Amino acid sequence: MSMKPLQKLVRPNIWALKPYSSARDEYKGAAASVFLDANENPYNAPYNRYPDPLQLEVKEMLAPVKGVKPGQIFLGNGSDEAIDLAFRIFCEPKTDNVVAIAPTYGMYKVCADINDVAYRPVLLDDGFRLDAGKLLAAADEHTKLIFLCSPNNPSGNDLEREEIVKVLERFPGMVVIDEAYADFSEQKPFREELETYPNLIVLNTFSKAWGSAAIRLGMAFASEEVISLFNKVKYPYNVNQLTQRQAVEILKKRFDVDKWVKTLLRERGQVMAAFAELDICEKIYPTNANFFLAKVKGADAIYAYLVKNGIIVRNRSRVELCGDCLRVTIGTPQEDNSLLGALRSYKPETIK
Ligand SMILES: *Cc1c(COP(=O)(O)O)cnc(C)c1O
């Protein structure tokens, strides 16, 4: 099955929407030096001016790094903005639905609930593997979006490429692939497949490998047609000037990012090997991200013990398929040694 025409997938009110036209949108002429169009204060430079609504400088620098065209990039206030916009663009509240793998990143369901769109989770298998047939069986004519996450959070593994491709080829709606952790994985990123799959939306973020969670900058890559819908619906100045400037700075330090990734991957191997030796460790799941999921003997008690010692990991033990699991982010060697040292001294109060 091929993709439905975009107009059939987009909410009619969004398709017809005439977006807000800001002063900075309307002025596109020769170099100007006197700006009396936006009711800004002429004092307090450089904070007095509205930022570029389309963040063109950032996109020009980002495009070659990511192997896409500037027009195929949307930038938002974290990936979370792109996720929310996907709902608002494609999903009619109370009518449409989305399908997603489970367990996965919690924001897809939160955005579905906020937008009053039914969320249909489809369980991965016990090795957190994707079965495209099972996923697609949950979709119907009101399914507008499918959410995949690879490497997946909280399990850490890459989803199998052939299964993702089956979803892209067979689903007539939009497929969102969240590749927040792709920098840590060997798998070929799907953002390079935009020309092949017009129904593909890929999410990336500055928050993980790029070390810039504080600036809140997320990316979506899709066809220029789809990106123009994102641009139409977003707040006019959704990415502030401080964030745009800092994004340019981090893009100049690409080699630091590569170094961080290499360091974290090396450290990950050491931490996982040491963690596997702990008495409390039942199992460590394979990972392609900067964290790993571990099944332990009594996750709640261990989590509470670590908190008491000032060490915070993520307790995922109430998540489906993750009973007694903790998710551990790779930190500095000092941080990781604090964790391992604390766990070596851990004594369960009662042994069940
Ligand atoms: C951390 C994470 C993000 C990043 O979200 P931002 O809003 O860009 O910080 C996106 N997706 C997944 C799966 C994540 O784990």
Q: Is the CB of 78 under 6 A from ligand 1?
A: yes
Q: Are residues 320 and 235 both part of a single domain? A: no
In a domain, 37, yes or no: no
In sequence order, the β-bridge partners of residue 326 are 294, 315
- Token output for 188: 């070929």
pLDDT digits (tens, 9 = 90+) for 267-324: 999 999 999 999 999 999 999 999 999 999 999 999 999 999 999 999 999 999 999 9
Q: Are residues 66 and 174 both part of a single domain? A: yes
Q: Are residues 139 and 185 both part of a single domain? A: yes
Q: Residues in the chain with pLDDT < 70? A: 1, 28-30, 350-352
What is the structure's pLDDT at 29? 65
What is the structure's pLDDT at 185? 98
pLDDT digits (tens, 9 = 90+) for 137-149: 999 999 999 999 9
Q: Are residues 203 and 262 both part of a single domain? A: no
What is the structure's pLDDT at 24? 74
Q: Is the CB of 76 under 6 A from ligand 1?
A: no
- How far is ligand 1, taken at its centre, from the CA of residue 48, in Å? 30
Q: Are residues 200 and 319 both part of a single domain? A: no
Q: Among 208, 228, 253, identify where a domain stops.
A: 253
What is the structure's pLDDT at 169? 98
Q: Are residues 234 and 323 both part of a single domain? A: no
Spell out the residues 6+ positions from residue 335 whose beta carbon is closer than 8 angstroms to its own. Answer: none
What is the structure's pLDDT at 314? 98
Q: 154: cis peptide before it, omega within 30°? A: yes
Q: Is the CB of 212 under 6 A from ligand 1?
A: no
Residue 313 CA to residue 330 CA, distance in Å, equals 10
What is the structure's pLDDT at 21? 84
Q: Are residues 248 and 261 both part of a single domain? A: no
Q: Are residues 234 and 92 both part of a single domain? A: yes
Q: Are residues 227 and 97 both part of a single domain? A: yes
What's the CATH code of the domain at 133?
3.40.640.10
In a domain, 135, yes or no: yes
In a domain, 43, yes or no: no
Q: Is the CB of 77 under 6 A from ligand 1?
A: no
Cα within 13 Å of Cα(291), Cβ side: 21
Q: How far apart are the first and last CA of the chain?
A: 53
Most ligand 1 atoms within 8 A of CB, residue of 77, 107, 176, 183 to mutate: 107
Strands 97-102 and 143-149 turn out to be parallel
**By residue range, what is the domain housing residue 295?**
255-345
Contact 80, 112 (CB under 8 A): no
What's the CATH code of the domain at 292?
3.90.1150.10
Residue 332 CA to residue 118 CA, distance in Å, equals 40
Number of domains in the chain: 2
Contact 112, 87 (CB under 8 A): yes
Q: Are residues 116 and 74 both part of a single domain? A: yes
- How far is ligand 1, taken at its centre, from the CA of residue 207, in Å? 7
Residue 274 CA to residue 276 CA, distance in Å, equals 5
In a domain, 27, yes or no: no
Q: Is the CB of 80 under 6 A from ligand 1?
A: yes
Spell out the residues 6+ positions from residue 348 whose beta carbon is closer than 8 angstroms to its own. Answer: 280, 297, 298, 301
- How far is ligand 1, taken at its centre, from the CA of residue 78, in Å? 7
